[in-house]
Amino acid sequence: MERISPHQFMTLGAAVLMGTTFLPVASMVTGVGGRDGWMSVLPGIAVGIPYGLMVISLLEQYPRKNLLQISETLFGKWIGKIIGVFYISITGYFGGLLLGQAGDIYEVSIMPLTPLGMFYLGGLLLVFYLVWSGIEVFARFSEVIFPIIIIAMVLNIGLSIPRVEQGELMPILSEGIKPLFRGGIKVLPFAMEYILFLAGILSFLPTGKKELGQLKTGVWRAVFLVGILDMLVVLIQILVFGPAETIRLVYGLLVLGKMVEVSRTVAGVESLFLGVWLGALVIKVSAFFFTVTWGLETVFSLKGLKWNLAVGVVFMGIAFKFTRGPSLIMEIGLVDNYLIFPFASIWILTLWGVSRWKKGAGIQ
Amino acid sequence: MKRTNSKPKIGLVLILITCHLFLTGCWGKREVEQLAPLIGEGFDLGEKPGTFLITQQFAKPKTGGETGAEIEDRTFSVEVSNARESIEKISRVTYRTPFMGSLKVIVISEDAAKAGGFNDILDFGQRYSEFRRSMYLVLAKGKAQDILNLKLRAGLLPAMAIKNNIEGADELSSFPTVRLGHYLTILGTKSTAPILPVVESVKTGEGIKYKADGTDEAGEIRIQGAGVLRGDRLVDFLTDEETKGYMWLENYVIHRYIDTVDLEENSVKFGGQVLRSSTKYKVKANNGKIELQYQIKASIAVDEVLGLKKQLSGAEWVELMKGAEKSFAKVIEKECELSIKKERELGLDFLGIGRHIEQRNSAYWKTIKDHWEEEIKDFPISLDVQVTVHHTGMSSSSAINSGGEGQE
C-alpha cells in the first residue's frame, strides 16, 4: 500500500485546495461582497479547518479506510454505496469541467487559435501519467510544482503594486458585515472540494499518534496558506482594477499578468505565469481523477488501466460538452454551490456525528 | 495503481511522445518576422453615420538602419463600423499579421470624443487578449488621423513620440497619465468623470519656434491640458493651469517646475522645482456643514531668483525664502482654485471629490450620492497649502550689477 508523509499531505492538500481558485475568486467574492469582498476569503476557506479535522478524527478512528468505506461501516452497505455513487458522479463531473477550464483559460488568454481538444488532451495526458504513477509520485509532483506556483503568484501580485489605483480599497465595511457573509458563502465550496479529496486520500495517510498530530497541523497550514494567498489575489485586483472592473474580469489575475512591466523593459510575462498555472490546473484535475478511481475501486471494485481510460474518456466528454466559455464558468459555479458544497458539508458532518455518537454509545 | 505490467506504461509513453510531436506545432503560431507590431491607433468619426475612421500606426524595422532600433512608419486609415473590421481591412495591405500586444497609445479625436460612444470601439482593446490595459489614452485636438500622420522633425513615429512624452512626464507633472486600465476603473466608480490628456500638433510659432522644413506642416507634438468626459463623451477642455490644479488636487505631482512671475504683490519673483509633494484629504464638519479640505504639502528647491536689487545678509535671505514659500503656496492655491471652479461650472466631478467623501464618510456620502452632480456646484471645499523651500541652489543672494547701469 502506498503512503505519503505528513509534509506531502500538507503540500498536496494545499495544492489541491488552491487549484485554480485564484483565477475566479476575485470576481466571485467582489460580485457579492463588493469592495470588502477580499475580507471574506480567508474566513470562508477557513471552514475547511473544522471539516478537515473531522476527517482526520475519522481516520484516527478507522485507520487505513477512506470515507466511503467508513460510510459503509457506519451507515450500512447500501447507503454507503449510494453515497459512493454521488461521490464518484460529483467529483467526476467536476474534474471534467476543470479539464474544460484548461482549454478556456489558454484559448482566452494566449493561444486563441489552438483547438480546445489539444488543451484537453495535453492536460489529460499529464493527469493520466500522474494517476498512473500513483499517489506518491503525485505528492512529490505537488511538492515540486506548488512552491513554483506560489512564487509565480507572489511575483504577479508584487509586480502589480505599481499599478495600484489611489483609494480603491476605501471605504472599509461601509455596507456592514453582510457582504462578508455573502462573499464567504461563495468560497465555502473551495474548502469542500478539498474535503472531498481528503475523503479519498485518507487510506494513504499514516496513522501513528505523532503523524496524526502532524496531519492536523497540515490541514491548518494548507488552509491558511491558500486562504491568505487567495485573499491577497482578491485584494490586489480590487486595488488595481477597482470593484466594478474586478467583477467584470473573468480571469483578473491573467489581466494583471499582462500589465506587469519591470522598468518599462520586461513585459509580456503572462505566458510564464500561465505555464506555471497549468501545473495548478493539472494538480486539481488529477486530484479529482484520483477521487473517481478511488470511488470506483471502493464502491464497485473497478480498477485497472481500462477503467482509468474510461474515466479519461468521460472527462474529455464533459470538457467537450462545455466548449462555450461562459457556460463552462457558470456550470463550475453551479456544481460548486449546489452539488459539492451541500453534499460534502452534510456528508462529512453526519458521518462525523454518527461516528462520535456510536463511539459514545460503545457501538462499533 | 500498481506498476506491475510494463506494457501499458510503454504504450502510455509512446502516446505522450506522439502527442508531444503534434503539440509543438501550436496552432496559431506566428513567426515574429511575420508580425506587424501596432504602436498607435486613432479614432475619428467616419463620414457615414455610425462609423469610425480608424488609423493604425505600425512599426516596421528599417532595413539597413544604423541601429536595430530604427523603425519606419506604416500608417493606414480605414472607415469601419467596428475595430475588428479595421484589422481585416488593414491586414490585406500590410502583408503581415497585425500584432496588438505592442500597442502603446490610443488617440481619440476631439470630434469622436464630443460625439460620444467611443467606448464601443474601445471594447475590442479591453476584451481581446493581445491588448494590454497599460496602453495610454489621449485626446487629440483636431483629427487623430492627422496627429498619427505627422512627420516629426525628430524622425519618431507620432505614437512613439506621444508615448515618450507621457513616460517622461513625471518631471513636469503638468498633465495626467491615463492608461486604459485607469480609464476603465474611473468609469466603474460612476461618480467620477474621466479625464484624458490632450495631444496637439505644434507648428513653428505656436507657443514655440523651430526651424521648419519648408512646408506648412507641423513638425512637433505637444501634450498640454486635458479633456473632461461624461462617460465617453467629451464635455470640455481644461486649460494648462486648470490641469495643473487637477494634478495637485489628485496627488499626481511628482516633480514640477513652478514660478511666481504672475503674482503681482511681490517685486522679487522665484522659479523652482518641486522635489516632492503630497496631497491629503480631510472630510470634516465646519459650521454644521460637511466640507472637504485638501492638505497639500510641497517641497521646493528655488533655482531662480528674479528682480533682486541688492545683496542680502544671511538673515534677510532666510526671510526672503519664507516669503518665497508663501508665494509658491499662492501659485499652487490659484491653480487648484481654477480647477475647482471648472468642476463647479461643469457640474462634473473630474476631481473625484465624491470618492474622497465616500472614502472618509461613507454614511454622509449615501445621503448625497444620488444628487451629487447638483451638490458639486456649491459643495464646501477648502485648501491648506504648505510649501517648504528646501534649498536655494548653489548660491545665496544674487549677482548684482555694478553701480550705474541697470542699478537703481
The per-residue pLDDT for B29 is 67
CA B338 to chain CA mean position, Å: 19
Angle at the Cα of B90 from the Cα atoms of B86 and B91, rounded to 5 degrees: 115
The per-residue pLDDT for B404 is 47
% chain A with pLDDT above 90: 76
A170 vs B contacts (CB less than 8 Å): 358-360
What letter would DSSP give residue B24?
T
Probe site for chain B from A105, A138, A163 (most B CB atoms < 10 A): A163
Distance CA B62, CA A87 (A): 63
pLDDT higher than threshold 70 for residue B305 = yes
Name the pLDDT band for B25 (thresholds 50, 70, 90): low
The pTM assigned to this predicted structure is: 0.90
In this predicted model, what pLDDT tens digit does every residue of A221-252 receive, in sequence order?
A: 999 999 999 999 999 999 999 999 999 998 89
Amino acid at A175: E
Q: What is the mean pLDDT of chain B?
A: 87
Angle at the Cα of A302 from the Cα atoms of A301 and A305, rounded to 5 degrees: 145
A253 to chain B, closest Cα gap in Å: 13
B27 vs A contacts (CB less than 8 Å): 111, 113-115, 118
Half-sphere exposure of B205 (CA within 13 A, CB side): 3
Q: Report CA dihedral (B88, B94, B100, B102) to the nearest 10 degrees.
A: -170
pLDDT higher than threshold 80 for residue A16 = yes
The per-residue pLDDT for A56 is 95
Nearest CA in chain A to B179: A163
CB of B133 within 8 Å of any CB in chain A?
yes
> Is residue A287 within 8 Å of residue A13, measured between CB atoms?
no
User: What ipTM was predicted for this assembly?
Assistant: 0.88
pLDDT (mean) for A3-26: 93
Asked if the Cβ–Cβ distance from A305 to B356 is below 8 Å, we say no
B339 to chain A, closest Cα gap in Å: 20
pLDDT (mean) for B321-337: 95
A178 to chain B, closest Cα gap in Å: 16
pLDDT higher than threshold 90 for residue B41 = yes
Distance CA A341, CA A332 (A): 12
Distance CA B128, CA B112 (A): 22
Angle at the Cα of B373 from the Cα atoms of B176 and A164, rounded to 5 degrees: 35
Name the pLDDT band for B408 (thresholds 50, 70, 90): very low
**Cα–Cα separations (whole angstroms), residue B27 to A101, A113, A139, B128:** 18, 6, 33, 18
Name the pLDDT band for A115 (thresholds 50, 70, 90): confident
- CA nearest to B105, candidates B174, B150, B160: B160
Of B2, B129, B134, the CB nearest to A259: B134
Asked if the Cβ–Cβ distance from A125 to B19 is below 8 Å, we say yes
Strand partners, B301: B273, B391
CB of B151 within 8 Å of any CB in chain A?
no
Q: Is A205 helix (H, G, I), strand (E, B) or coil?
A: coil
Name the pLDDT band for B22 (thresholds 50, 70, 90): low
B22 vs A contacts (CB less than 8 Å): 118
Half-sphere exposure of B285 (CA within 13 A, CB side): 3
Of A111, A121, A131, the CB nearest to B19: A121
The C-alpha cell 522598468 sits at A263
A113 to chain B, closest Cα gap in Å: 5
Q: What is the mean pLDDT of chain A?
A: 92
Residue B155: all three cell numbers together: 524622425
In this predicted model, what pLDDT tens digit does every residue of B88-135 receive, in sequence order?
A: 898 888 777 788 888 999 999 999 999 988 999 899 888 888 888 999
